[in-house]
Amino acid sequence: MSDALLNPANPANVFACRNLHVFVKDGDQEKEIVRGVDLTVQRGQKHALMGPNGSGKSTLAAALMGHPSYRVEGEIWLNGERVDALEPHERARRGMFLSFQYPVAVPGVTVANFLRASLAARRGTEIPVRAFRQELNEAFATMGIDPSFITRYLNDGFSGGEKKKLEILQMLLLKPAFSLLDETDSGLDIDALKVVSDGINQASGPDNGLLLVTHYQRILNHVQPDVVHVFMSGRLVRTGGMELVTALEERGYDWLTDEAAVAEGSRT
């Protein structure tokens, strides 16, 4: 990567974090989960983040979005602006989006009301009902979601696949600059995986970027990443392309354990 692109404020970069450390309360002490991550996503790029359970991938995604359970040190940049001091809703308004591994149900709030309020917050203006309905119907058709879901309470009684489809529908409507997709493929059957992947690809374009957290190659066969990272023990230990995904599928993560240990030792 050129020196210019390493500059987090470079217009070619939609997202960057620099020397990011993430801590969580552990009794009376703090435990460091993410240990000095540098990551840049250029406009038009899809990045995949892979790693074993407990490596800190989901913690990284949540901390980047501003989850209050975590204390963050380091810099987080979105569209050339530092956002690490902003609240989660302020980051969302500026174009950061997080798709949850386990989307929560919100009884009493309909899908339609939630989406209309989200769009108004993202765009800074109320959406006329007719225009909103047209956009919503098109997104529902793209994601293969029955229009009757519009009047249902958000994620209440939804299957795992329905929740994940609705997450990507939000991505389609909100048009975020940078999307964090935390194990979006978790719990999806073959058909739902194809629909969700198609939605991600449709929402991706030359002006935005995404970081897709996953354990498996199957979604990456549909959402082809430009860059693949391996995350272990709170650090990025290897970066490559789809050949790295193939190696992980064939060999697991054990062959990188020694490299992670070396990286750990070099920092102590």
pTM exceeds cut of 0.85: yes
Query: What is the total residue count of the chain?
Result: 268
pLDDT band for 258, please (50, 70, 90 cuts): low
d(CA 147, CA 145): 6
pLDDT band for 4, please (50, 70, 90 cuts): low
Residue 34, C-beta contacts closer than 8 angstroms, at least 6 positions apart? 20, 21, 22, 56, 59, 60, 63, 234, 235
What domains appear along the chain, each with residue ranges and CATH number? 3-256 (3.40.50.300)
108-132 per-residue burial string, b: 16 or more CB within 10 A, e: under 16 = eebbbebbbeebeebeeeebeeeeb
Extract the tokens encoding 114. Answer: 């939630």
Residue 19 C-alpha from the chain's centroid: 19
Q: Specify the pLDDT at position 157.
A: 95
Residue 82, C-beta contacts closer than 8 angstroms, at least 6 positions apart? 75, 76
Nearest to residue 56, comparing CAs of 265, 238, 178, 230? 230
- Statement: residue 9 has pLDDT above 90: no
pLDDT band for 5, please (50, 70, 90 cuts): low
Distance of CA 214 to CAs 142, 191, 197, 219, 254, Å?
Answer: 23, 18, 13, 8, 17
Work out the end-to-end distance of the chain between its first and last CA atoms, rounded to an integer number of angstroms.
27
pLDDT per residue as tens digits for the range 54-95: 899 999 999 999 999 999 999 999 999 999 999 999 999 999
Place of tokens 């750990």: 264
